[in-house]
Structure 1
Amino acid sequence: MTHQFDADAIAGVLHHMNADHTDDNVLITRAFLPGSEVVSATMGGFDGDGGDWTATLSDGRTVEVRVPWPGGGITERREVRREIVALYDQACRALGVEPRAHD
C-alpha cells in the first residue's frame, strides 16, 4: 500500500519546490519526458512511491509526469528531500548537465 503524507508535509514540500526550485522542476520533467520541449513545470504532489509534476511544453500543452522515487518507496518526510535530490542528480546525468553541490 502506498504511503500517503499528511497535508502539512505535502504543502511544505510543494511550496519549497515551486518557490525555490523551479529550474529543478523543469530539469526533472525534461529528463523524464525525453524529446519534449519543457518550458516550465511545477510539482503538484507526491506520495510514498513517487512525485508528480505538471510540465508545460513549448507548444502550450501541459503534460502530467509521474516519476518513481529512485530509492524505492518512502514513508518519512525527511526521505522526500533525499529522493528529490536523487531525481535531480539522475536528471542531470540524463541531460548532460553539471549538478550543483548539495547542502
Structure 2
Amino acid sequence: MTHAFDDAALAGVLGHMNDDHADDNLLIARAFSPLADVIRADMVTFDGGAGQWHVYTADGGEDVIRVPWPGGPITERREVRREIVALYDAACARLGVAARPHV
C-alpha cells in the first residue's frame, strides 16, 4: 500500500511547489507528460509512490499525470523534497536543459 501523507504535509508541499516553483512544475510536466505543448502545470497531490500534476496544453487540452519518485517509494515528508529535486534533474536531462544548482 502506498503511503498517504497528512493534510499538513500535502498543503505545505503543494503550496510551496505551486507558489514558488511553477517553472519547475512546468519543466517536470513537459518532460513526463504524453501531451505536447504543455504550457502550464500545477502539482495537485502526491503520495509515497509519486507526484501528480494537472497539465494544460496550448490547444486547450488537459490531463493529470502521475510521475513515480525516481528513488522509489517514500514515507517521510523530508523525502518529498529529495524526490522532487530528482524529478527536476531528470526532467532537465530529458529535455536537454541545464539544471540550476540546488541549495
Amino acid at match of 2:17: M
SS of the equivalent of 1:65 reads strand
Q: 1:55-66 to 2 correspondence within 5 Å?
A: 55-66=55-66
Give structure 1 stretches of 5+ with no counterpart: none
Deviations 1:55-93 (A, max 9, x none): 000101111110000000000000000000000000000
Q: Is residue 5 of structure 2 the alignment partner of residue 5 of structure 1?
A: yes
Runs of 4+ in 1 over 3 A off after TM superposition: none
Q: Following the alignment from structure 1 to structure 2, what is the Cα–Cα distance between the partners of residues 95 and 88?
A: 11
Q: Which runs of 5+ in 2 are unaligned?
A: none
RMSD: 0.8
State the distance in 2 between where 1:96 and 1:59 align.
Answer: 24
User: Are positions 1:18 and 2:52 aligned together?
Assistant: no
Aligned equivalents of 1:95, 1:76: Cα separation in 2? 29
SS at match of 2:24: helix
2: distance between equivalents of 1:53 and 1:101? 23
Aligned residues: 103
**TM-score, length-normalised on structure 2?**
0.98
